[in-house]
Structures are given as structure tokens and as C-alpha cells.
Amino acid sequence: MTEHAVVDLFREAMLTAGMVAAPILLVGLTVGLVIGVVQAATGVQEQTVGHLPRLAAMAGMAVLMLPWMLDTFVQLFRTTAVGP
């Protein structure tokens, strides 16, 4: 395996990992921002109020996206193990 092939493999793996993680992270960011605005508007500054909905939303998104995530990782494995 040449140096160029290793770099391409690493780049493809990092892009796939970012693409798979993005929906879950975006849901966490969105829920966190909404909860932060609500907390600022109401004056409630309890830390657990912000973490529990964010955790639940991210877990729900992970469950919903699991088939797509697995398919994406299987495609990456097939292209790297077998070749294009």
C-alpha cells in the first residue's frame, strides 16, 4: 500500500465519519440552542434542564439514522477492502 493510498483511505474515512456524525451533532446543537434561549427567557439556570432534552434528542436521532449510518459504513468498508 503506497503512501498516497493510505492518505486517500484516511481522508475517505474522516469524511465518512463526519458525514455520519453530522445529523446527530446538528440535532444536539439545535436543541441546545433552543433550550438555552428558553432558559435565558425564563431565568431557569438548572444545568440538568439543558442536558436531558439534548441527550434524548440525540439518542432519538441516532436510532432513526442507524440504518443509514450502517449502510454508509458498509459502503466505506466495501470500497476500501475490495477497491473502487
The chain-wide mean pLDDT, for the chain, equals 91
> Residue 83: in which H helix or E strand, if any?
none
Residue 58's pLDDT band (boundaries 50, 70, 90)?
very high
Is the Cβ–Cβ distance between 57 and 28 less than 8 Å? yes
For residues 44 and 81, is the Cβ–Cβ distance under 8 A? Answer: no
Band of residue 47 on the pLDDT scale cut at 50, 70, 90:
confident
CB 53 within 8 A of CB 35: yes
Q: What's the confidence (pLDDT) of residue 2?
A: 87
User: Does the pLDDT value for residue 83 go beyond 70?
Assistant: no
**Distance (Å, whole) CA 45 – CA 39:** 6
Whether the predicted pLDDT of 49 surpasses 90: no
